[in-house]
Amino acid sequence: ETGVTQSPTHLIKTRGQQVTLRCSSQSGHNTVSWYQQALGQGPQFIFQYYREEENGRGNFPPRFSGLQFPNYSSELNVNALELDDSALYLCASSLNSKPLLEQYFGPGTRLTVT
Amino acid sequence: AQSVTQLGSHVSVSEGALVLLRCNYSSSVPPYLFWYVQYPNQGLQLLLKYTSAATLVKGINGFEAEFKKSETSFHLTKPSAHMSDAAEYFCAVSAPVKAGTALIFGKGTTLSVSS
């Protein structure tokens, strides 16, 4: 069984640029959630996709957007990067979006904005 | 709204000592609660979860947690710490978001284990 994978591992961007982060779900999972983890903080929910539709969103501005593809892989896009966007971005997949189900996390993408 | 508070950002124990990491929750609905562990430069791994089946929940690596509704707590314990337990620990609660579910995390507790 393949776990959740994310790419790239590390990324350095300049303020104002755009970035795309990618996530492959665990086999059989149709729900993907994205989290932002700033240094020294707990992860914060960005949004969730279920069967290619946005299923819920946290308190993040519209320049954070996402996609989920028919194979349930997902992308996180961030436009007009700001210094505060520097963080570890975590993707998590689950069998569906029910609250009692475990979310399986990938290793994350470390984004640095200079 | 759902939230969790982890008391103590840093806990230090000796190898073989009891580990106790504290978590209090706030929830407007019966909560589903989780403990995750994060090793340096890695993602999060589930230690255990509470889904109302039993108040004492056993997880991986010898960890367990007890749900106490009267105290709104879900503290994580391990009888005897190992060096390999040194990591960041996060308590989380499920929260409904539109049609889906988010995990709301605490700020984390760093566990250090000395020999």
Q: Which amino acid is at A79?
A: N
The answer, for B67 touching chain A at a CB cutoff of 8 Å, is no
pLDDT at B23 over 90: yes
> Residue A83 — pLDDT band, cuts 50, 70, 90?
very high
Q: Do B102 and A48 touch (CB under 8 A)?
A: yes
Mean pLDDT of A3-17: 96
Chain B CB contacts of A55 below 8 Å: 97-100
Of A8 and B52, the structure prediction assigns the larger pLDDT to: A8
Inter-chain CB pairs, A–B, below 8 Å: 82
> Residue A1 — pLDDT band, cuts 50, 70, 90?
low
- The tens digit of pLDDT for each residue in B30-55 reads 889 999 999 988 889 999 999 887 89
With pLDDT > 70 as the criterion, what percentage of chain A qualifies?
A: 99
A102 vs A100: CA distance, rounded Å = 7
Q: Do A90 and B90 touch (CB under 8 A)?
A: no
Q: Do A105 and B44 touch (CB under 8 A)?
A: yes
Of B96 and B18, the structure prediction assigns the larger pLDDT to: B18
- The tens digit of pLDDT for each residue in A16-43 reads 999 999 999 998 899 999 999 999 899 9
Instruction: List the single residue in A with minimal CA-CA distance to B90.
Output: A42
pLDDT at A75 over 70: yes
The answer, for A59 touching chain B at a CB cutoff of 8 Å, is no
The answer, for A66 touching chain B at a CB cutoff of 8 Å, is no
Residue B50: C-alpha distances to residues A43, A75, A102, B5 (Å): 19, 30, 11, 16
Mean pLDDT lowest among A19-23, A86-90, B54-58, B80-84:
B54-58
pLDDT at A97: 75
Instruction: List the single residue in B with minimal CA-CA distance to A50.
Output: B100
pLDDT at B9 over 80: yes
Secondary structure (3-state) at B110: strand
The answer, for B30 touching chain A at a CB cutoff of 8 Å, is no
Partner-chain residue, chosen from B46, B102, B107, that has the shortest CB–CB distance to A45? B102
What secondary structure does DSSP assign to chain A, as a single string?
----EEE-SEEEE-TT--EEEEEEPPTT--EEEEEEE-TTS--EEEEEEETTEEEEE-S--TTEEEEE-TTS-EEEEE-S--GGG-EEEEEEEESSS-TTSPPEE---EEEEE-
pLDDT at B36: 97
Q: Do B100 and A44 touch (CB under 8 A)?
A: no
